[in-house]
């Protein structure tokens, strides 16, 4: 049905895109075994499409990591990096949509060929693990798999490749270093952290007083309202107290260093200063990617539940249960989500000294 690629003397859609190679790679087990199952084609193609998109995601992530390994992330790189991470996010969103197509296969249809696939499993997708490693999913945080390291299903070269990613630097570790280099936290006599602490205490005191003095709130409501406002003992402790942060890191509950966390907070609070706009966009991209990946895990687990109920998967995995757990445990950039708890309203924000403001602006005054 398809033409031999060799016939074309000039570049042609068919040979440029290697269509023949791509379209001859669907070997259906049910056909090999003499009991063709119509639905197996969908199963194969859905997974092949996933792998093609995984390759694209890896292409983008690797290129972004290289920018940050330069140690001098110039502004134009940051802009390109943002564009590429936004693309990754859009691809992940498409992969979530794609689950709806897999869901057109009913459980009964799947039974027509499910046994033939044993013991292959989606757990064996190497590229998916590469993506997790490139993003920086910490090994300690990973679910074990029948008591074994996640990478034990791969061959030695593949295992070495995965280890190599952690060794040369993940997106998370590179971003951490980049944040630590943020120059504005102590500049020209301005000390961001102590200004922030003062503003925070002032804000909490004002709000608490307002609640206490309120005449229309019941005591119970006052209590709740105060919880909502928070106190320096709860969310704020880790940012006010480097030791607390250090402890949480040791327990594997935080990944970003203290210094990087403070920088991320600074970027969030002063995001409208010209020089901080792109860094803020970049940090937002990381959260978006994390959300989409988590969303995909969630929908994937939901689909597996629908497909095989609580049965054990083709790879012997506990199927839905395992996948469900990775949804929350394999979140990578939760430290960036955590920044939300630390924000204070713009009205309470310490003013930047005009010297600093100028530093954060463009050389050329546009107006």
Cα separation, 169 vs 79, in Å, equals: 21
State in angstroms the smallest separation of the CB of 97 from a second copy: 6
Q: Could you say which of 306, 321, 325, 353 contacts a second copy (CB under 8 A)?
A: 306
Residue in the block written with tokens 């998109």: 53
Hey, CA dihedral for 120, 125, 129, 135, is it positive or negative?
Answer: negative
Residue in the block written with tokens 């639905």: 39
Nearer to a second copy, 28 or 193 (CB): 28
Q: Per CB under 8 A, which region of 41-49, 135-143, 166-174, 238-246 contacts a second copy?
A: 41-49
State in angstroms the smallest separation of the CB of 142 from a second copy: 19
Hey, CA dihedral for 35, 37, 42, 43, is it positive or negative?
Answer: negative
* 52: contact with a second copy by CB under 8 A: yes
Nearer to a second copy, 252 or 355 (CB): 355
Number of residues that bind a second copy (CB under 8 A): 141
Nearer to a second copy, 249 or 305 (CB): 305
Give residues 147-176 in contact with a second copy (rule: CB under 8 A): 154-155, 157-158, 161
Q: Per CB under 8 A, which region of 136-144, 191-199, 237-245, 271-279 contacts a second copy?
A: 271-279
Cα separation, 184 vs 267, in Å, equals: 10
Give residues 319-358 in contact with a second copy (rule: CB under 8 A): 324, 328, 337-347, 358
Q: CA nearest 112: which of 24, 27, 25, 29? A: 29
Strand partners, 145: 148
State in angstroms the smallest separation of the CB of 124 from a second copy: 4
Nearer to a second copy, 105 or 137 (CB): 105
Cα separation, 73 vs 217, in Å, equals: 52
Are the CB atoms for 360 and 275 separated by under 8 Å? Answer: yes
Cα separation, 64 vs 52, in Å, equals: 19
State in angstroms the smallest separation of the CB of 119 from a second copy: 6
Q: CA nearest 350: which of 176, 223, 194, 150? A: 194
Q: Per CB under 8 A, which region of 77-85, 131-139, 248-256, 258-266 contacts a second copy?
A: 77-85
Q: Could you say which of 300, 314, 350, 352 contacts a second copy (CB under 8 A)?
A: 314
């Amino acid at each position: 049905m398809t033409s031999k690629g060799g016939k074309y003397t000039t570049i042609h859609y068919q040979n440029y895109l290697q269509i023949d190679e791509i379209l001859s790679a669907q070997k259906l087990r049910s056909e090999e075994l003499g009991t063709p199952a119509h639905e197996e084609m969908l199963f194969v193609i859905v997974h092949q499409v996933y792998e093609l998109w995984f390759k694209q995601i890896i292409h983008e992530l690797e290129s972004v990591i290289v920018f940050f390994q330069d140690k001098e992330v110039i502004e134009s790189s940051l802009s390109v990096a943002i564009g590429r991470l936004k693309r990754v996010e859009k691809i992940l969103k498409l992969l979530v949509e794609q689950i709806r197509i897999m869901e057109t296969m009913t459980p009964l249809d799947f039974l027509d060929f499910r046994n033939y696939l044993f013991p292959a499993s989606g757990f064996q997708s190497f590229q998916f693990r590469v993506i997790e490693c490139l993003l920086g999913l910490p090994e300690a945080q990973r679910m074990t798999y029948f008591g074994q390291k996640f990478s034990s299903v791969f061959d030695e070269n593949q295992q070495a490749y995965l280890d190599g990613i952690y060794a040369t630097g993940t997106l998370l570790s590179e971003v951490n270093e980049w944040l630590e280099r943020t120059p504005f936290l102590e500049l020209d006599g301005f000390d961001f952290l102590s200004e922030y602490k003062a503003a925070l205490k002032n804000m909490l005191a004002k709000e608490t007083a307002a609640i206490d003095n309120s005449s229309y709130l019941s005591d119970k409501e006052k209590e709740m309202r105060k919880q909502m406002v928070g106190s320096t003992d709860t969310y704020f402790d880790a940012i006010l107290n480097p030791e607390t942060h250090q402890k949480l890191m040791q327990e594997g509950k935080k990944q970003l260093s203290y210094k990087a966390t403070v920088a991320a907070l600074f970027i969030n609070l002063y995001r409208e200063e010209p020089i901080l706009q792109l860094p803020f966009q970049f940090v937002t991209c990381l959260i978006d990617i994390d959300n989409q990946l988590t969303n995909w895990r969630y929908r994937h687990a939901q689909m597996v539940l629908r497909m095989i109920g609580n049965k054990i998967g083709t790879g012997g995995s506990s199927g839905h249960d395992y996948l469900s757990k990775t949804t929350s445990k394999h979140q990578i950039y939760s430290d960036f989500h955590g920044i939300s708890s630390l924000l204070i309203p713009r009205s309470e924000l310490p003013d930047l000294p005009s010297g600093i403001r100028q530093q954060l602006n463009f050389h050329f005054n546009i107006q």
